[in-house]
Structure 1
Amino acid sequence: MIEECRDKQRQAEQERDYALSHQKKVEIPVEKPVFYQKCWNCNQTAYLKAKERYDTQREKLAGRYKAKTVMYEALIFLLIWYSISTTLFQMIRSKIFISDCVVFFDTIATFTQTIAGWVVLTGKTVAQISNGISNPVVAGIIYWLIKILVYSGCLVGAGILVVFIGMKIAGLYKKYCWDMITVMVILISMAITIYFGDSIKTVLPINLLFLLLFVQLVYVGIRWYVKGWRENRGYV
């Protein structure tokens, strides 16, 4: 019984192999249907008229949009100019704000003079190395060379630091704050500080110019945080 089943299985496998090796492959050409062909012989008068009306209407709308955009930009410019001019005039009239500006820049000048004094003292101290040279001419030359090198190095370093800080601040403003919101914040903060300077000084004894700069620093920090938060969540 088992042998008979095996014989039938072998016979079926042989028939399968024969059918696979001797089957005839026939290729039937199939014509691909063309779903759309543009007809160049039909009358396109209606289409051309509709296209002409569309182009005309589009040009009119574009002209109206451009005119409204120019009017809007001119209005915004006039408002900004008016705000800046009135704020500057009030700033000139504000004795408290002017005095705070004088104190602020005087403090910066004093700090700069202190740093310059330290640099001069450092240069003199370092230049004392030339005292060990017996030849007075060579000692004098080395003394002044050392002082010039120290002063030049400090000056170049300070310049590079100032330029670096300025570029960083400009980059932050350009990346995060280059819009009308920043202009409005600057104008509003200046107006509040100048017009209500007396009240602010009464409540908070702080330099008004320093307060303006501090407000800008906080504003840039907030914009930087919000921008990063939106980018991390894929909103931008």
Structure 2
Amino acid sequence: MIEECQDKICYLTQERDYARTHQKIVEIPVEKPVLYEKCEACNRTAYQNAKAKYETQKERLAGQYKAKTVMFQTTLFLLAWYSLTTTLFQAVQSDMFLVDCKSFFNDLASFIQTFVGWTIDAGHSAAQISTKIPNAFIAGMVYWLLLILIVGICMAGTGMLAILIEIKVIELYKKNCWDVITLLMILTSVAIVIYFGESIKKVLSVNLLLLFVLSQGAYVGIRCYLKVWLEKRPY
């Protein structure tokens, strides 16, 4: 009995191995459903009507969205213009703010004048090398050439550096701060500096216009830091 079962098991094992080594792959066609719009034999009237209705609603909603966007931007521009004009009128009437503005620009002009004077003095000092030339005519030409060259290089280099810094600041400003929040921040800062200028001067002995510029610089720095921090933040 046991031998008979073993023979059957051996026979079935051989059948299984034979089936594995001699099996044949047969492709059986299967019907696959397709989308309604791709079926050429169907009636496309319902699909065309639904599509036309969708396009109409889409255009209508797009027009409504555009109109509301224009209305919002117009309202925001008018509010900003009103706030700016009233603030500027108040600034004109504020003697303290006008005095600080004049002082700020006078100090800026004095700094530029001092820098130009330092540059010319440096050019004169460097051009003294020409005194070692025995020929007076050649020495004079070398002196003025060195003076013009040194002063021109210093002034051009400083100007290019200032332009590059300005371009970089404008790029950062447009990239990180070109939005409604910045507009509100500027208007709020100007209003605070103008309307509360006397109180600020009592607490801090600082130029109001310089304080406004520093506050804007701090605001731009904070916005740039927050944007970088949010981009690197793992989610």
TM-score bracket for the superposition, by shorter chain length:
0.7 to 0.9
Q: C-alpha distance in 2, partners of 1:208/1:97?
A: 7
Q: C-alpha distance in 2, partners of 1:64/1:26?
A: 64
1:208 aligns with 2:208: yes
1:148 aligns with 2:148: yes
Alignment of 1:1-20 (within 5 A): none
Q: Which residue of 2 aligns with 1:68?
A: 68
Aligned residues: 219
Q: Which residue of 1 aligns with 2:194?
A: 194
Alignment of 1:1-236 (within 5 A): 24-36=22-34, 38-234=38-234
TM-score, normalization by structure 2: 0.85
Q: C-alpha distance in 1, partners of 2:219/2:25?
A: 75
Q: C-alpha distance in 2, partners of 1:153/1:47?
A: 73
* 3-state secondary structure, aligned to 1:32: coil
Q: C-alpha distance in 1, partners of 2:107/2:219?
A: 24
Runs of 5+ consecutive residues of structure 1 not aligned to the other structure: 1-11
Question: 1:24-81 CA deviation, whole Å, 9 max, x = no partner?
Answer: 4434232233233643233232332222222222222222111111111111111111
* RMSD over equivalenced CA pairs, Å: 2.1
Q: C-alpha distance in 2, partners of 1:184/1:129?
A: 57
Q: C-alpha distance in 1, partners of 2:170/2:144?
A: 38
2:34 corresponds to which letter in structure 1? Y
The Cα of 1:199 is off from its aligned counterpart by: 1.3
Q: C-alpha distance in 2, partners of 1:27/1:106?
A: 93
TM-score, normalization by structure 1: 0.85
Q: Which residue of 2 aligns with 1:4?
A: none
* 3-state secondary structure, aligned to 1:108: helix
* 3-state secondary structure, aligned to 1:30: coil
Runs of 5+ consecutive residues of structure 2 not aligned to the other structure: 1-9
Question: 1:146-205 CA deviation, whole Å, 9 max, x = no partner?
Answer: 100111011111111111210121122122111111111011100110111111112222
Q: C-alpha distance in 1, partners of 2:199/2:65?
A: 46
User: What stretches of structure 1 move > 4 A for 4+ residues in a row?
Assistant: none
- Over 3 Å counting, the alpha-carbon distance change for 1:26 and 1:58 in structure 2 is closer
Q: C-alpha distance in 2, partners of 1:197/1:26?
A: 93
2:26 corresponds to which letter in structure 1? I
